Amino acid sequence: MNTTMQKISIEKVKTSKIDQVDFDNLDFGSVFTDHMLVCDYKNGAWETPKIIPYQPISLEPSAKIFHYGQSIFEGMKAYKDTENKIWFFRPLDNHRRLNISAKRMAIPEIPEAFFMEGLKALVKLDEKWIPQKDGSSLYIRPFIFASGKGFHASPADEYKFIICLAPSGSYFSGKVKVLIEEKYSRSANGGVGYAKAGGNYAGQFYPTQLAAQKGYSQVIWTDDNNHEYIEEAGAMNIFVRIGDTLITGPTSDRILDGITRKSILQIAEDEGIPTEVRKITVSEVVEAAKNGSLKEMFGAGTAAVVSPISTFGFRDVDYDLPELAESYATRLKKRITDIQFNRAEDPFGWRYGL
């Protein structure tokens, strides 16, 4: 694998569109900065990345992304503190996970230097786009897809690695009502559930639409075998608090190794919150809701950080969770975001300055 790189070339926009953006009213991931990074894989090697004005991509109809779905992505953020210094949160973990996904999808891995130097150069160029309103940040979307052409069912011989930036407000507002899914599965043993592959998310949309028709905003995914264990909440890892213990399922072929998930577990340990990483049965959660020991459920992921669940539905019965004055969800989210925005000490070495 080519791990050396020439200097990144930069083509700047003639006129920025930043003045057209209302930074006080940003939807998540719908406004994009002036520039993007593009890197091509050809002739068995990654070429030097380049930064160009944000623009459409031209592909042939025979590009294999359209036919065989070789596509992976990451989600991360950049933050600006009160002194205008820029920070990332565990970016090397995003790079490692992108390559784990790449290997599973038979996509060539991207060298660390290409990822990190490209990321830093792009964010530095568009740093004025980083919002500083509370709850807002610069969302970063690195992705790789098959650009090589041909109808033969085989891995492509050419790929594109791109990073786009989107100044964004909060991903979710308020608490979430979810439905425990018993028919459809997000992933299966031996599959690609642990990879951030585009098809994983496409496959979620239809069951989520069905849940929305019943008044739920997300689905809690269960195992593909007997739908006995809860595994993820929408596109996020899931945590359950029974009594004082915080529980989340173990990572596997089916469950994404979430960076926010790992951070929550580490912070909980640091703060003396009892944690368990084990399989969680649906029946256990329902019974805990009935006897009052179920205190909290929340999703955890890059976009929302922590998304509290107010109600879950199972077999035509809704179970409301209690309103807590001092919830783990609020406590853990504050601890993570204080580290991300450089408002607190970072004893774990997660914060990465630009």
Divide the 354 residues of the chain into consecutive groups of 10 and give the mean pLDDT of each group.
77 96 90 98 96 97 98 97 96 98 98 96 97 90 98 97 94 81 92 93 95 95 94 93 97 92 97 97 97 96 92 97 94 96 96 94
Q: Which residues of 271-294 are buried (b: 16+ CB within 10 A; e: fewer)?
A: eebebeeeebebebbbebbeeeeb
Strand partners, 311: 177, 320
| Residue 199 per-residue DSSP state | H
Residue for token digits 């897809």? 145
**What does the pLDDT read at residue 175?**
73
Residue 12: exposed, middle, or buried by beta-carbon count in 10 A (0-12, 13-18, 19+)? exposed
- Number of neighbouring beta carbons within 10 Å of residue 206: 10
**What does the pLDDT read at residue 5?**
72
Q: 168 — phi, psi (to 5°)?
A: -140, 150
Distance CA 123, CA 23 (A): 17
Distance CA 328, CA 308 (A): 10
- Number of neighbouring beta carbons within 10 Å of residue 317: 10
Name the region of 114 (left: φ>0; alpha: ψ -120 to 50; beta: rest): alpha
- Number of neighbouring beta carbons within 10 Å of residue 42: 13
Distance CA 260, CA 329 (A): 12
pLDDT in tens, 89-101: 999 999 999 999 9
Distance CA 75, CA 47 (A): 23
Query: Cβ distance 130 to 79 under 8 Å?
Result: yes
Average pLDDT, the chain: 95
Residue for token digits 């569109």? 17
Going 300 to 312 to 276 to 174, the CA torsion angle's sign is positive
Name the region of 296 (left: φ>0; alpha: ψ -120 to 50; beta: rest): beta
Q: 260 — phi, psi (to 5°)?
A: -65, -40
Distance CA 268, CA 241 (A): 12
**What does the pLDDT read at residue 6?**
80
Global pTM reads: 0.95
Q: What is the amino acid identity at position 48?
A: T
Strand partners, 309: 176
| Domains of the chain: residue spans and CATH | 9-168 (3.30.470.10), 176-340 (3.20.10.10)
Q: Which residues contact 3 (CB under 8 A, 6 or more apart)?
A: 111, 112, 113
